[in-house]
Chain A
């Protein structure tokens, strides 16, 4: 029954590899930028707080697909030549997902008591040292389940790079379907691949949630 998948298995798995690569860059960049965004959303300096808050609230109201298009249109103007879908997709994902990761980090930072921060200052640590050694590590552990959940969402979101012609899993599935016309098994297969990867991810998230609850750090 799955012979259409079998005949094109290598091609489809190549697409999954592109999906994984895009997810990797989107997550690494999105999480790093998100950490900074989360700190900036708690900043007391208005010239940091207001622009970053505007950036977060703006992007969270806009569909990702439109953001992907927008960067695909704006990048050639910035770099002066046409650009491949992959780097363009990576940049749009980093900028977009950082707003979601940023809100997770903000919530995580806010769970840390003022006493802990003051104690850290009392030992002579600077703001950045406190963030690096105290605030971020503890918040990170508390936020791990939400971070994994958002990572699963990001992994699913990478399918939207389809619209600028990136040959990831869904694009390749649709290319194969145009030749084979076996939609049920081909799209069924793609769905199954996402389902398996995401279920594994949510099990990992669940594990850390339980672990955190047992260690009573949540």
Chain B
């Protein structure tokens, strides 16, 4: 221990730093929830595209998943934030850049699009675990393709894949930390700000770690309730 370091755990609750952390947590939860809604809706759609009869739709679903999965989320956020507005042409991009809280919107959309590719893979796996006879049984009742997915296959598959979706739900909240790189003042950003202000980043990041831990435990507890509620009767081991 060459360097003497005076611990100051007070930065976790002293004014204004305690407030910063709480505000950061609020933004982390808000972005995480909003991104999760996009990810679920889009992920179910893309996952369904990947098993339809139409080759073009299947191809689009596969391309979406492969591209979004194989580029780091950080690069995706930078692309949407810096290059995204430019894609709309000069006049419109200037207007977009004046939207207040643009970085928050970009991070919600960016994290949502990215997570959708992961949700889509789980949805596809869920479909794959449903037997062929079930599809045929549904079609034999006279339902159309869309009705089959809407009323039978998707609800059933979603209930099957609740455990992997729990992991993804947790990952969304962890991934919101990457939004700090485009200046979103979420929890990780705030703990880093405290370091800039007090040089007590170690205490601040340690505190933030435990806040993420509590958030994670809460999500798991919540999902356990969901899992129990939507359990499919007669399946083994859950």
Using a CB–CB cutoff of 8 Å, the interface residues on chain A facing chain B are 58, 61-67, 69-70, 73-74, 76-81, 152, 156-157, 159-160, 162-163, 170, 173-174, 177, 183-184, 186-188, 190-191, 194-195, 198-199, 202
CB nearest to B86 among chain A residues: A184
Taking the closest CB of chain A, its distance from the CB of B70, in whole angstroms, is 4
Contact B205 A73 (CB under 8 A): yes
- Encode B1-19 as 1/0 by CB contact (under 8 A) with A: 1110100000000000000
Instruction: Report the contact-size class of chain B (Cβ under 8 Å from the partner).
Output: 35 or more
Q: Are B87 and A162 in contact, CB atoms less than 8 angstroms apart? A: no
List B residues at the A interface (Cβ < 8 Å): 1-3, 5, 66-67, 69-76, 78-79, 82-83, 86-87, 170, 174-178, 180-181, 188, 191-192, 195, 201-202, 205-206, 208-209, 212-213, 216-217
Are the CB atoms of B72 and A157 closer together than 8 Å?
yes
CA distance A183 to B195 in the complex (A): 30
Q: In the complex, how many angstroms separate the beta carbon of B167 from the nearest chain A beta carbon?
A: 9
Task: Give the complex CA separation of A79 and B3 in angstroms.
Answer: 8
Q: Assuming A62-B213, A76-B3, A152-B70, what are 16 further A-B pairs, CB within 8 angstroms? A: A64-B177, A65-B188, A69-B192, A70-B205, A70-B209, A73-B205, A81-B3, A170-B74, A177-B82, A186-B83, A187-B82, A188-B83, A194-B75, A195-B70, A198-B69, A202-B66
* In contact, A195 and B201 (Cβ under 8 angstroms): no
Residues in A neighbouring B86, C-beta threshold 8 A:
183-184
Contacts of A195 in B (CB 8 A): 67, 70-71
> Which residues on A sit within 8 Å (CB–CB) of B176?
63
Of A64, A77, A187, the contact of B78 (CB 8 Å cutoff): A187
Chain B nearest Cβ from A148, distance in angstroms = 13
**With A and B bound together, what is the CA distance between A70 and B206 in angstroms?**
7
A66 contacts B208, C-beta separation under 8 Å: yes
- The CB with the most chain A CB atoms within 10 A, among B70, B76, B86, B217, is that of B70
